[in-house]
Amino acid sequence: MSQVVNLAIPEHEQMQVNQIAAQLGLSVENLYLGFIHDGLISCQQRLYFEKLKRLSDSNSVKKALALLDKAPEIEPFAEDSLF
């Protein structure tokens, strides 16, 4: 499903978009769709990393080390060994 959205874009930026679209052989619409797609991915990644940061801030090093202490001591698989 598509939706029409009107944007007010400064003239100098619109000129740059037109030039880049022409150089890439894309329509202006497809270039904007690419910008939106990339921007959405960037925002999702930023939100995910902020969530990870909040989680890490809420847990102490002491708790993390205690959790690691519960892991069984086993030899790594041959393909995972450094030596």
pLDDT at 49: 94
The pLDDT tens digits for 5-56 are 999 999 999 999 999 999 999 999 999 999 999 999 999 999 999 998 888 7
Domain ranges of the chain: 11-71
pLDDT band at 2 (very low <50, low <70, confident <90, very high): confident
Half-sphere exposure of 54 (CA within 13 A, CB side): 6
pLDDT at 77: 86
| Residue indicated by tokens 């698989």 | 77
DSSP structure string for 37-82 = HHHHHHHHHHHHHHHHHHHHHHS-HHHHHHHHHTS---PPPGGG--
Its pTM surpasses 0.75? no
pLDDT at 65: 85
Q: How large is the average pLDDT for residues 51-74?
A: 84
Q: Which two tokens stand for residue 10?
A: 């400064």
Cβ–Cβ under 8 Å, residues 7 and 14: no
